[in-house]
Chains A and B, each alone.
Chain A
């Protein structure tokens, strides 16, 4: 039993962690009443996706995806594709966070608060 559990954790355990992180992010995005906390949870979800992709690119015994002299076998290097994709994903998450912060400041200016319940209860402050 212990062996099965250890084998599972070694082979698939990291997926569980990424899914838990993803679930935490989605849970927070749905349930938090504060928009700032929603933005933080969105970032947590993006980090979970990045972890998941990087896990897919892993290889046993592989080194960094920078070519070493005279070694050209594909087994010697980890997969560079998820790294390239996730590099751009990090940048996009930066952009979404920036736009979200700008929208939050606009909401704060118009409604005077960023708590969801106060905003939906109050309406436009004219």
Chain B
């Protein structure tokens, strides 16, 4: 097949060029603490993050505080992805609207004693871990995206194993999309709250909760937690949305 050969040649040539880039000292040595990627902005973040944001987890400090705007639009991208998947597949109406029959997930069958017993124990642990990751996002490893993914995995296990009767499930794809919108709203509302107190958008130091803390910098963990709550809700609902929207159409007939 000519197309494959031509493309293979192109890729090989590109690989040789890239190898030349590497050999020609274009990229920094792995582990070099003085490379340009590690020198200008990142030392500032590492040295000032605790003083500025009271968040020992530097990744969360960068993601939710210094670059809160980026994360806002990242969350919006996630929301839009869910809405797009919904819109692409919404044209054909469902036959039985709003009714879930858990013993019949469109031919998908993962039932069995082993799965049932194992995940019956596992789902509460996953849920507890998800809330731990959410609440400890600014102190230790974790954060909103991971907590949302864990919650969605708990829902997904519950949804896909038919003997569980879908106990957690009150989501259709429309309500999942709406819940994702609620997550984005929590984020934006957290950004707007400081504006009532004379601050800028997403300026956590001006959140109107100063009666509860002794210093303005202590408000930063509150703000980080609130926007991570929004991110969690949005990510969880978007994953559930995509899952539901795909499962609705899945028929393994061929």
How many residues of chain A get a CB closer than 8 Å to chain B's CBs? 52
Q: Is the Cβ of B82 less than 8 Å from the Cβ of A79?
A: no
A95 to B235, CA, bound (A): 10
CB closest residue in chain A, given B48: A72
CB closest residue in chain A, given B27: A15
Q: Is the Cβ of B89 less than 8 Å from the Cβ of A77?
A: no
A residues near B (Cβ < 8 Å) are 8, 10-12, 14-16, 19-20, 23, 26-27, 30-31, 55-60, 62, 64-67, 72-75, 77, 79-84, 87-88, 90-92, 94-96, 98-99, 101-103, 105-106, 109
Q: Is the Cβ of A88 less than 8 Å from the Cβ of B7?
A: no
Q: Is the Cβ of A98 less than 8 Å from the Cβ of B42?
A: no
Query: Which of A58, A65, A91 touches B235 (beta carbons < 8 Å)?
Result: A91
Q: From residue B202, how far is it (CB to closest CB) to chain A in Å?
A: 16
Provide the residues of chain B in CB contact with A62, threshold 8 Å. 33
CB closest residue in chain A, given B92: A109
Q: Is the Cβ of B88 less than 8 Å from the Cβ of A102?
A: yes
Q: How many A-B contacts are there with CB distance less than 8 Å?
A: 155
How many residues of chain B get a CB closer than 8 Å to chain A's CBs? 62
Q: Is the Cβ of A106 less than 8 Å from the Cβ of B89?
A: yes
Q: From residue B126, how far is it (CB to closest CB) to chain A in Å?
A: 18
B residues near A (Cβ < 8 Å) are 3-4, 7-8, 11, 14-15, 18-19, 22-23, 27-33, 35, 37-38, 41-43, 45-47, 49-50, 56-59, 61-63, 67, 70-71, 74, 77-78, 80-82, 84-85, 88-89, 92, 140-141, 143, 145, 235, 238-239, 242, 245-246, 249-250
CB closest residue in chain B, given A102: B85
Q: From residue A101, how far is it (CB to closest CB) to chain B in Å?
A: 6
Q: Is the Cβ of B89 less than 8 Å from the Cβ of A102?
A: yes
